[in-house]
Amino acid sequence: MNQYQASDKVIIVDHPLIQHKLTLMRSRDTPAAEFRRLLKEIGLLLGYEATRDIALTNIEIETPLMRTTMPVLAGKKMCLFSILRAGDGLLQGLLELVPSARVGHVGMYRDPKTLEAVEYYFKAPGKLDERLCLVVDPMLATGHSAVAAINRIKQAGGKEIRFICLLAAPEGIEELGRSHPDVRLYTPAIDTGLNEKGYILPGLGDAGDRLFGTK
Ligand code: URA
């Protein structure tokens, strides 16, 4: 446990289905195919929470019985941003939930010595200022990649930004809150801290390696 509590900027998504799936993902015995499936499912469930307050508008429709007024999405444009490469695992679930969303990619790697984020790729759709940007990366560890990715998205015009992860370390939450106090964070769990290599403890290991079976 740790001292972090939910707040209006840190939303802990503690739904039992997500907690169960997350525990399965943490186990070292869970194979890559299963890990990938679970990450996609959790991505969809987290997306459901992160879009809970998007605007609705009323339209007139006819049911087989009568004319009536009912709500539909007001049509705010959306952009899902995956921080490569592990972000792609969460992205799949979000895309299932919002198939019409545009997708941006931010390529970041962690310098193994400094643990600083280094950008190697950025691609985003236009009119970012009109879109709700949902940035996904399974592991909010030091927070350096998240902060750098959001810096870049803001530089490209992004204004309304939310960050969705699978696991957060207190260090990452602090860093994200300090650099981007306007960005809401959605996470199912806040773990204890980081080890000397910047891995989350107890965590689940390297999310990219586990997702793609590269170790
Ligand atoms: N990235 C990972 O994949 N795992 C961690 O624990 C931290 C960063």
The letter for the amino acid at 81 is F
Which residue, among 147, 151, 153, has the nearest Cα to 134 in the 3D structure? Answer: 153
Whether 4 is in a domain gets the answer: no
83 lines ligand 1 (CB under 6 A): no
By residue range, what is the domain housing residue 203? 10-212
Whether 66 is in a domain gets the answer: yes
203 lines ligand 1 (CB under 6 A): yes
For residue range 164-173, list pLDDT tens digits in order. Answer: 999 999 999 9
139 lines ligand 1 (CB under 6 A): yes
**Ligand 1 centre and the CA of 206: distance in Å?**
5
Whether 15 is in a domain gets the answer: yes
For residue range 142-162, list pLDDT tens digits in order. Answer: 999 999 999 999 999 999 999
Number of domains in the chain: 1
**Which residue has 């015995």 as its token pair?**
29
What percentage of the chain reaches a pLDDT higher than 90?
Answer: 90
Whether 132 is in a domain gets the answer: yes
Q: Please tell me which residue in 37, 102, 184, 209 is annotated as part of the active site.
A: 209
Whether 105 is in a domain gets the answer: yes
For residues 132, 165, 194, 119, the Cα torsion angle rounded to the nearest 10 degrees is -50
- Nearest atom in ligand 1 to the alpha carbon of residue 206 is 3
Average pLDDT over residues 24-32: 97
CATH code: domain of residue 102: 3.40.50.2020
Average pLDDT over residues 86-110: 95
Whether 3 is in a domain gets the answer: no
